[in-house]
């Protein structure tokens, strides 16, 4: 479990909580459910993860474009 916690988090993903690591190591343990440690985080498919990353890149590009447009407009007003 310590090894899993020490692994670097892939870009765009949230780090795993200790409860998620324990649930991964002991996936079908009734004990975990009884003590409230089993996570109810839905598992994302590789397709869903890829789509989220694609949308995040799209949003970042739009923000960058909007910032460039604002800068251009500011420079136009100064002339």
If pLDDT is split at 50, 70 and 90, which confidence band does 67 have? very high
pLDDT surpasses 60 at 1: yes
Stated pTM of the model: 0.41
Contacts of 53 (CB under 8 A, 6+ apart): 12
More confident residue, 48 or 2: 48
Q: What is the C-alpha to C-alpha distance for residues 41 and 44, in angstroms, rounded to an integer? A: 9
76 Cβ contact partners less than 8 Å away, ≥ 6 residues apart: none
């Amino acid at each position: 479990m310590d090894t899993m916690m020490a692994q670097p988090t892939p870009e765009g993903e949230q780090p795993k909580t200790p409860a998620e690591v324990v649930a991964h190591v002991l996936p079908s343990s009734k004990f975990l459910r009884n003590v409230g440690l089993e996570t109810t985080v839905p598992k994302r498919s590789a397709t869903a993860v890829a789509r989220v990353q694609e949308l995040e890149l799209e949003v970042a590009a739009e923000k960058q474009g909007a910032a460039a447009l604002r800068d251009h407009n500011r420079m136009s007003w100064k002339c």
